[in-house]
Structure formats: C-alpha cells, structure tokens
Structure 1
Amino acid sequence: MRRGIYLLEEVDFRPMNSRRPMEYLTWLTRYKREDESRRQPALTEGMSIRSREIDLVGAFYAVGITGHPQFKAVTLWDCHGGWDGGWRQMMEIYRGVDDRLFLSDIDDLRFSAYSRPLGAVAGSPAPAALAAEGYAAEFYLFESARVRPGAALDYLEAVRTERAPILAEHGHRLAGLFEVLFCDTEAVTVWGMSLDSHLAVQRAHDAALGLDDEVPADDRLPAWRERARDFLDGPWRETVLAPFPGSKLALDGGVKGT
C-alpha cells in the first residue's frame, strides 16, 4: 500500500471582504465536482490542472474566533496514487512553466495562499475513505504542532495511541494524522466533532484545572498537554474549521458523525 500524500492549503482574502471566501469555496467545490467524471488530467486555461486524482477531500471556512485570521479558507487535497499519482500530476504542470499557470478565473480574489505537503503516517484514517463511508461532522478540529527535529512520527504515534482514545470518548473522530513533508519539524492532525462535543471537551478540561465545578473533570486532557511537550519544540495550536456546504465531509453530503 502506498503512502497517502496530501496538500493542505490556507488561503487569506484582503481587504477584509466576507464574500470573497464564499466565492472562492463555491467556485472551487463546483469545478472539482465536475472533475470527478474526468478520464484524463489536463492543464486548462483559467483553472490550471483538472484531474480526478487531485481530489478536494476537504473544503472549510476557518472559524476566526478560534485563532485563525478572519475570512480564511482551508482546503485539503488528496493525491490519489500518492507520489506517482496526483502528486506527479501537480508537479508536471510546472515543466516548462506553461503560460496557463499564470491565468486563473480567481485572479485578484485571493490575497495569499500557503501550501503544505502532507504525508499520512501509520494508523492514519484516509479522509477519502471517511467521505466514501458517508462520514461528516459539524466541525473539524485542526491542529498544527511544531515538534523537535525528527520527532513528528513519534508525536503522531503518541496522538494515535494515547490521545485519540480520550477524544473518542468525548465524541471526536480522528480524520487524519500527517507529517509535514520536506521538513522535519511539523505535524498536523484533523478531527471531526459536533459543537456539543467541542464544548464538552473544553469544559471537562476547565474542570480538571479547577475552573468549572458544574461538570465532571477529565484529568487526562491536561495530562496530554504535558505529555505532548515531550515532543514539541515550538508553537502548538488547535483551531476549528467549518466544512463548506456541498463539499466532501460536510453534513449535507454525508451522515452525521459521532
């Protein structure tokens, strides 16, 4: 079995115009639905690479109040076939620097975009398999962690074996464990959750710190934070993503997850 290869992209829109991320996500999800029936990849004017092997498995609007810049979109792309599949197709469009690379239907809509190539690790769920299963969630928890050089795989294994069972008891489902490629200092995890399970985790954590006496405490939650520091070497952040209507892993396209 080949390693799953993904691309995570964070897109900012300026000046602050709340309609721009909606226009972008609507455009993106529409044309990627059309690509599902394509037989061969093609470099097209205005939309760059068109391919069913470069699969938009997640399209999200970032919940700004959780720490994102306001009006931000996040997309997760699955390179079907791994390095020799969708990744090769994306790389091939740079051969010769074709002028179609510089033409886009969304020119001037985005302010900036930051892409990170991701490699799935052992035990990671495949987002495409979750979508095929019909799984979807109200929200997704997105974690980016800077780890000690070389510690990403160990950190992600600890997340899988130690943290995932705890969060599962609080209604969170693991949706991806990823090493950020071409560097050795960053890891990304993705979890599906309901709003109620998100709030329950926050309150159980507060209770474990003695800051909420109305709900049961879960001491394992702050204990994990301590455990994670065995691997971390810089910023660690969790933020929340809302799946865009009509996209894969959104509730209107699947069944409610637990």
Structure 2
Amino acid sequence: MRRGIYLVEEVDFRPMNSRRPLEYLTWLTGYKRQDEERDAPELTEGLSIRSRDIDLVGAFYAVGITGHPQFRAVTLWDCHGGWDGGWRQMMDIYDGVDARLFLSDIDDLRFSAFSRPLGAVHGSPALADLVAEGYAAPFYLFESAQVRPGAALDYLDAVRAERAPVLADHGHRPVGLYEVLFCDTEVVTVWGMTLDDHLALQRSRDAALGLDDEVEADGRLLDWSRRAREFLAGPWRETLLAPFPGSRLSPLARTAPPARF
C-alpha cells in the first residue's frame, strides 16, 4: 500500500471582515462537490485544477479563541493515488506555467494562504476510509509542532504508541498523523472529538496540575507533555477547528449554503 499524501492549507482574511471566511468556505465546498462526478482532471479558467482525485476532505473555520489568528480557515485535502495521483495532478498545472494558473474567482478574497504537504505515517488512518465510514466530529484538534531536525518520525511514533491511547480514553480519535514533507522539522496531527470530550480532557489536565479538585485527574496527560519535550525544538501549539457544513468531515456534510459562482 502506497503512502497517503495530503495537503493542509491555512488561509487568512484581512482586513477583519467576518463575512470573508464564510464566502470562501461556501465557494470552496460548493465547487468541490461538483468535482465529485468528474472523470478526468481539467485546468479551468478562474477555478484552477478541477479533479475528483484532489479531494477536499475537511474545510474548517478556525476557533479563534483557542489561539488562531482571527479570521482563519483551514482545509485538509486528500491526494487520491498519492504521489502519482492527486499530487501529480496538482503539479501538472505548473508544467509550462499556463496563464490560467493566475486567474481565480476568489482573487482579493484571501489575504494569505500557507500550504504544507503532508505524508501519513504508521498508525495514521486513511482519510478515504474515514469518509467511507461516514465519520464526522463536531470539533477537531489541530496540532502543529516544531521538532528537532530528523525527529519527526520518532515523535509521531511516540504519539501513536503513547499519546493516542490516552487521548482515546478521553474520546479523541486520530484523524491524521503527518510528517510535513520537504522539511525535517515539523509535524501535524489532527484528532476528532465532541465538545464535552474536549472540556473533560481540559479539566482532567487541570486536576493533574492540582487546579481542579472536582474531577478525576489523569497524570498521563502531564507525562506526555514531558515526553514530548524530548522531541520538540520550537513552537508547539494545539488549536480547535469547527467543520464547515458541506465538507466531508462535517456532521452537516450535505447542508452547506449554495455556492455562488
């Protein structure tokens, strides 16, 4: 089985206009639903590459109160077929630098966008399998961590073996364990959970710190923080994502507002 190749993109909107993330996510989920019936990829004027193999699995509104810049959207893409599938199709649009590459229906809507290619590691579920299962969560935990050069795979092995069982006891399900490709210092993990599970985990950690005597403490949460520092070499942050209606990982996957073209 070939390695799963994915893409995460973080999009900022400035000046601070709360309608822009809505317009962007509505537009994006709308046109990708149309791509589900395509038989072959196509480079179109104004919409760039259209392909069912470049699958918008997750479209999220970033929960700003958890540490994201406001306002931000995050998208998670599955390159079906890996390197030789969706990834090749995305790269093909740069072959010859076709003029259509520079045209977009959403010009001036986004302020900036930061894309990172992701490679799945052992223990990371295939996003296509989660979609086929119909899995969706009300919230997703998004982790980005800077690790020592060359330590990405070791860190993710430790996450799979040591952290995932602890989070599972708190209702958190792994959605993706990823090495950020074309560098050797960054990892991304994604977990699905309910709001109640998110709150319960925070209180269990507080209790382990001696800051909450009304719930049961889980000292393993603090043990993991100490263990993680063996691999980390820079910023580590977890933030929350709310799935946008119309994306595959949303409980409201088919109730998105109609797209406007």
Match of residue 196 from structure 1: 196
* Secondary structure class of the residue paired with 2:119: strand
Match of residue 131 from structure 1: 131
Matched, 1:79 2:88: no
Whether the 8 Å contact between 1:131 and 1:249 is mirrored in structure 2 is yes
Q: Give CA-to-partner distance per residue, 1:73-129, whole Å, 9 cap, x none.
A: 000011000001000000010011111011100010000000000000111111221
> Identity rate of aligned residues, in percent?
81
Whether the 8 Å contact between 1:143 and 1:188 is mirrored in structure 2 is yes
1:252 CA drift (Å):
1.5
Matched, 1:30 2:63: no
Whether the 8 Å contact between 1:134 and 1:253 is mirrored in structure 2 is no
The amino acid across from 1:130 in the alignment is L
The gaps in structure 1 that reach 5 residues or longer are none
The gaps in structure 2 that reach 5 residues or longer are 255-261
For 2:201 and 2:126, locate their aligned partners in 1 and report how far apart those are by CA, in whole Å: 24
Match of residue 217 from structure 1: 217
Match of residue 60 from structure 2: 60
For 1:210 and 1:250, locate their aligned partners in 2 and report how far apart those are by CA, in whole Å: 36
Superposed counterparts of 1:20-169, under 5 Å = 20-169=20-169
For 2:147 and 2:43, locate their aligned partners in 1 and report how far apart those are by CA, in whole Å: 37
For 1:191 and 1:182, locate their aligned partners in 2 and report how far apart those are by CA, in whole Å: 23
The amino acid across from 1:10 in the alignment is E
For 1:171 and 1:37, locate their aligned partners in 2 and report how far apart those are by CA, in whole Å: 35
Q: Give CA-to-partner distance per residue, 1:227-251, whole Å, 9 cap, x none.
A: 0011111110000000001211101
For 1:131 and 1:158, locate their aligned partners in 2 and report how far apart those are by CA, in whole Å: 26
TM-score (norm: length of structure 1): 0.97
The amino acid across from 1:11 in the alignment is V
Stretch moving more, 119-128 or 8-17: 119-128
The amino acid across from 1:209 in the alignment is L
For 2:15 and 2:140, locate their aligned partners in 1 and report how far apart those are by CA, in whole Å: 26
1:71 CA drift (Å):
1.3
1:253 CA drift (Å):
2.8
Q: Give CA-to-partner distance per residue, 1:154-181, whole Å, 9 cap, x none.
A: 1001001100000101010000000000
